[in-house]
Amino acid sequence: LLHLLVALIFGYLLGSIPFGLIFTRMAGLGDVRKIGSGNIGATNVLRTGRKGLAAATLLGDALKGTVAVVVAAQWGTQFAIVAALGAFLGHLFPVWLRFKGGKGVATFIGVLIGLKPLAALIFCLIWLGVAFVSKYSSLSALIASAATPVVLWLLGEPGMAGVAIILVALLWWKHSQNISRLLAGTEGKIGQKG
């Protein structure tokens, strides 16, 4: 049990590194939380107009989840699953930002890459499909994430599917403002500034 707690804390500490905030600050763009949706994620970094920084944010926020899972997997699958939960919670509720973190999409993909690469691939394909049609980053993430527990279950991973339900519930909760804007027709499209 102590080892599971270590995996959780290890995941949390990695997950709590806010790459979007760090990269935009390093680029001299000020605080990304003061623009667009106010989020620290890649979608909002893209609203600065800096595609490279947005890509780096997506990569950093995803890879921290992958690294947490891959390292913890050395001790077994249950450790990997707990580290995935830790990394996701770290991204959403980082102690360094007074627990006000991101919405979890990139880190969700990252932990999926570590846990079940095929499920991550399916997530990305659904995300790209919805984004291609709708041009909404949030809607794409909401639909792709909702499908993931089902995908994991179909791939024979009921344990991962169970934890994924918790992550998806948190991801949807963090997107409540996006959901309101989508329903009101006021959600910003991908790359649209403001």
Task: By CB under 6 A, name the binding residues for ligand G3P.
Answer: 36-37, 39, 41, 43-44, 103, 105, 137-138, 141, 178
Are 7 and 83 within 8 A, CB to CB?
yes
**In this complex, which beta carbon is closest to ligand G3P, that of residue 71 or of residue 147?**
147
**In this complex, which beta carbon is closest to ligand G3P, that of residue 99 or of residue 159?**
99
Are 48 and 32 within 8 A, CB to CB?
yes
How wide is the angle at C-alpha 84 spanned by C-alphas 79 and 90, nearest 5°?
A: 125
CB of 158 to ligand G3P, least distance (A): 27
CA distance 68 to 152: 19
**In this complex, which beta carbon is closest to ligand G3P, that of residue 106 or of residue 163?**
106
**In this complex, which beta carbon is closest to ligand G3P, that of residue 66 or of residue 82?**
66
CB of 107 to ligand G3P, least distance (A): 10
CB of 91 to ligand G3P, least distance (A): 10
CB of 187 to ligand G3P, least distance (A): 7
Burial class (CB in 10 A: 0-12, 13-18, 19+), 39: buried
**In this complex, which beta carbon is closest to ligand G3P, that of residue 7 or of residue 107?**
107
How wide is the angle at C-alpha 160 spanned by C-alphas 92 and 179, nearest 5°?
A: 45
**In this complex, which beta carbon is closest to ligand G3P, that of residue 41 or of residue 149?**
41
51, 25, 19, 91: which is closest to 193 by C-alpha?
A: 51
Cβ-proximal residue to ligand G3P, closest one: 37
Are 5 and 18 within 8 A, CB to CB?
no
Which residue's structure tokens are 């995803």? 62
CA distance 143 to 118: 17
